[in-house]
Amino acid sequence: MKELSSLQIERLKYQPKLPSSLAGGINNLTLLEGAKTHSVKDEEQIQELFKNTYGKPVVTFKTSLNKNVCEQRNIGVILSGGQAPGGHNVIAGLYDALKQANPLNKLFGFLGGPSGIIDGNYIEFTDEKINAYRNTGGFDIIGSGRTKLETEEQFQKALQVCKKLNISGIVIIGGDDSNTNAALLAEWFVKNNTGINVIGCPKTIDGDLKNEQIEISFGFDTATKTYAELIGNILRDANSAKKYWHFIKLMGRSATHVGLEVALQTQPNITLISEEVEQRKMSLKQIVDYIADIIAKRADMGKNFGIALIPEGLIEFIPEIKSMISNLNDLLAVLESDTSFQNADDNQKFAIIKSKLNSQDGAVYDSLPVMIKKQLLMDRDPHGNVQVSKIETEKLLIEMVNTKLNEMKKAGTYKGKFSSQSHFFGYEGRCAFPSNFDADYCYSLGFNAFALIKFGLTGYLSSVKNLTAPAEDWVAGGIPLTMMMNMEKRHGEYKPVIKKALVELDGPVFKVLEQNREKWAFEDKYIFPGSIQYFGPSSVCDITTETLKLENSAALTSV
């Protein structure tokens, strides 16, 4: 038997809360349908690719007095992509719902992500197995993976495994790419009359899988609270020692929801927002000048310390670097099969890259420190893109800011001392014990996913909204996955993908940061959130993120 911490023992006892519609019983539900839907963009192409699942209505559930008997069903579940706090509770909610519907129902977990359903690697869940993982972090109950489900061969293999296990429903727990897989699999299953339903669940700590129906992806709440605790600790240390500038890179490649939320929770001196950098077409030099200016002004106040939050994907949003990386992605795809390039040393590779990029992109690449040039040539991600998470942007900015400050010192415009520390907070937040909010939300998402399958729906994303209200007032239902899709270029080809939600610069969340930047830069209005609280008053233990509060408040005001 594995060793358990005192906290885990207590968390295993926690009973997550459900929306009142679902709490009334899985066999006592009525399905309500809304209007037909359309994709967020590229409607003609998406409709052509998803002829059998496109345009379905948004649905919600209500409690019914009529009891609907559930025939015996076997369901499969997949954890896909990066870990996020609460994944185990999605599975627990799914398991409890199907067992409540019919004790003979079975839940199979595919091991190692989507590859599990292709290769036939699985386990059957039992009460003992589920009960050992309730309200815990991580995806270790069955593991995860990043295999894409997109080929005819993969779909055929998945079908054979489902037939072997008599599976009539699949739940894919993942982010935008994983749920794109779910949409493709759902379409193929319908097209081939398999009778197998596919439902997705919105997971990602990045917070970029959301819309009017999906208010927040699970894991975002816990991860940002975990990062806020760590950054709060560093803020207090900086304010105590008063001698270091801490440059902290935060996870979130394609959107800066994590950095923005953590900034609202802790109020650091500098917060960079990738979407703002892109919209204002800020160059790398302008970003460095902006940071150096704040450092110099604080030094004039006798403050040679501070905190700067750097989004993981910042470098891709700087216009001249974004252009260079875009063309570099295409060039590296060609050079993959060039043995002379692959066998060259670093300096030779740098020269080849510079010569093959256009003059402007080549000059940008050549101007970067050797450390960054090497990182840009590392193995690419599954989409064929540069692995931005491996680029140490925080160290790049420290080096360039230090150079700028030395120039200012020679010019007599800076008289302070600059000592720096660099950090990257990413993995620290992905497997934390889920907050009460994420524990409840994830359990509801899983429970709701089975309800969608029970009503014969496919190609839907499990949706639970009205999340700033008490859990009993949450609204359970589902939205068609095609509603969230558009066409994007991947590996040189346009493919259907779920559109990422970026930080809205005219939205209520960013506006709070914008209105307080000057004050936070110089007045040290630091907040120290402390660790996630699980026991105590609801006002402490069940709080949602600042992002969710502000967005829902704005939505109510606009009605």
Catalytic positions are 206
Answer whether 400's CB lies under 8 Å from 310's CB: no
Gap between the Cα atoms of 517 and 524, Å rounded: 11
Whole-number Cα distances in Å, 145 to 3, 110, 162, 323: 26, 10, 19, 30
Report which of 9, 281, 2, 286 is spatially closest to residue 135, judged by C-alpha positions.
9
CA distances from 524 to 191, 292, 300 (A): 59, 17, 15
CA distances from 360 to 201, 211, 323, 325, 349 (A): 43, 37, 9, 12, 18
d(CA 463, CA 59): 9
Strand spans (E) along 286-348:
306-311
The secondary structure of 334-395 as a DSSP string is: HHTT-HHHHTS-HHHHHHHHHHHS-HHHHHHHHHS-HHHHHHTTSPP-TTS---GGGS-HHH
Q: Specify whether the backbone of 502 is left (phi greater than 0), alpha (psi in -120 to 50) or beta.
A: beta
Return left, alpha or beta for 532; rule: phi > 0 is left, psi -120 to 50 is alpha, else beta: beta
What letter does residue 120 receive in the DSSP assignment?
Answer: T
Report the candidate in 101, 104, 80 with the shortest Cα–Cα distance to residue 90: 80
> How many CA atoms does the CB half-sphere of 474 hold within 13 Å?
29
